Amino acid sequence: MNGFNTFEKQDKVLIGMSGGVDSSVAVHILQEQGFAVQGAVIRFSPAHEGAVAAARESAEALHIPLHVLDAEQAFETHVVQPFCESYCAGRTPNPCIMCNPLVKFRLLADKADEQGCAYIASGHYARIDVGADGIHRVAVPASAARDQSYMLYRLPQDILRKLVLPLGEFEKDTIREMARDLHLACADAPDSMEICFIPDGDYSAFIRARGFTPKSGRFLAPDGSDLGPHAGVDHYTVGQRKGLGIAAGRPLFVKAILPDGNIQLAETGQEYNTQIRLTRMATPDGGPLAAGDYLVKIRSAARPAPCRYDGCGYVTFPQPVRAPAPGQSAVFYKDGLVCGGGVIDEAL
């Protein structure tokens, strides 16, 4: 069940704001539900000054107080450094997934406690379900097209118990219409598609400017022959077809980035796997994920695929899945609820 409907004024909530349309309209929805709302914008890095300014504008328009929280050191330690290291090792990390439990929601929860707010909130498209066992779990939203439950799978129980997700019942078009009705400056602002701390999308330049040296190596053809050097593993990800810079006479894609820095290429039809191995497992209650049949998403935009989990980190697919990328997460669902997940370590 969804535990949030109408509230008394004394129910105080602290919502994370970015100045974007989703978190801004979420403020209004919370106000309509009876919450006394406070906002918080987090300065994760120097690249976030624009978000701080936009959040100030939204908070002023919505008549709520705004706290500016500094997370630069924690963000550097828990998100930026691991991101760079992972890319240099030939993996494809998802920094938001690690930021959410370790930095963003932890900082919001701490500030909420300081302000006497019983709840925290965000503009994610997801819901919170409270089971008969008392365990709080992330659930899929009403809008399948906007589903962000994947990004929240690592949130622990102490965060989930406080969390309100007001956009879980809405479609994006409705949210934009509400923003226009409220005359918010962000009503028609485009959705951000890049990693927040690399706004120009040039991951390689960002990583190298910080002094990291990604592995170099060679392209290997499907038959194992040498196709020449590549530009560094930070330029590629599993499943990539474009931008390889090679003339093989036929379409090729990245099958695997090998530990020695070489990149194994494959032909169309060879991009599918029937098994993956996971590490760094997480579940809502902190216990092990039970063996059994689930639906699983192997990337945020992927369709859920049927699978069998063995209870020890191995996931088997009755129908092969395309290009599972080490460093991405596999998130398990049952009956629309997030049951847990882990980081893909190897595609088998």
Given 84, 96, 117, 196, the catalytic residue: 196
Ranges of each domain in the chain = 12-181, 215-267, 272-347
- Whether the CB-CB separation of 134 and 29 falls below 8 Å is answered with no
Looking at residue 245, its pLDDT comes to 87
User: Do 20 and 183 meet the contact criterion of CB atoms below 8 Å apart?
Assistant: no
- Residue 267: both structure tokens together: 């032909």
Is residue 107 within a helix (H) or strand (E), and if so which, with residue range? helix 105-115
Q: Tokens 């002023």, residue?
A: 60
**What single string gives the DSSP state of each residue in 178-225?**
HHHHTT-TTTTPPPP-S-TT-TT--HHHHHHHTT--PPP-EEE-TTS-
| DSSP secondary structure, 143-189, as one string | -GGG--GGGGTT--HHHHTTEE-GGGG--HHHHHHHHHHTT-TTTTP
| pLDDT of res. 10 | 55
Contact yes or no for 171/130 (Cβ under 8 A): no
CB 206 within 8 A of CB 76: no
Which pLDDT does position 4 carry in this prediction?
A: 47
Which DSSP helix (H) or strand (E) runs through 347? Answer: strand 337-347
Q: Give the type of residue at 224.
A: G
- 186 part of the active site: no
pTM over 0.85: yes
Cα separation of the two ends of the chain: 38
pLDDT at 6 (0 to 100):
47
For domain 215-267, give the CATH number: 2.30.30.280
Respond yes or no: is residue 196 known to be catalytic. Answer: yes
Catalytic residue, from 84, 99, 186, 339: name it. 99
Architecture of domain 272-347: Beta Barrel (2.40)
Return per-residue pLDDT of the chain as tens, 348 residues.
344 444 444 589 999 999 899 999 999 999 999 999 999 999 999 989 999 999 999 999 999 999 999 999 999 999 999 999 999 999 999 999 999 999 999 999 999 999 999 999 999 999 999 999 999 999 999 999 999 999 999 999 999 999 999 999 999 999 999 999 999 988 888 887 678 899 888 999 999 999 999 999 999 999 999 999 999 999 999 999 998 988 878 889 999 999 999 999 999 888 899 999 999 999 999 999 999 999 999 999 999 999 999 999 999 999 999 999 999 999 999 999 999 999 999 999
Q: Please tell me the distance from the alpha carbon of residue 329 to that of residue 312, in angstroms, as a whole number.
A: 16
Answer CATH for 12-181 from 3.40.50.620, 3.30.110.70, 3.40.50.720, 3.40.50.10440: 3.40.50.620
Q: Is 299 helix (H, G, I), strand (E, B) or coil?
A: coil
**Separation in Å, CA 244 to CA 32, 194, 223, 264:** 51, 21, 17, 12
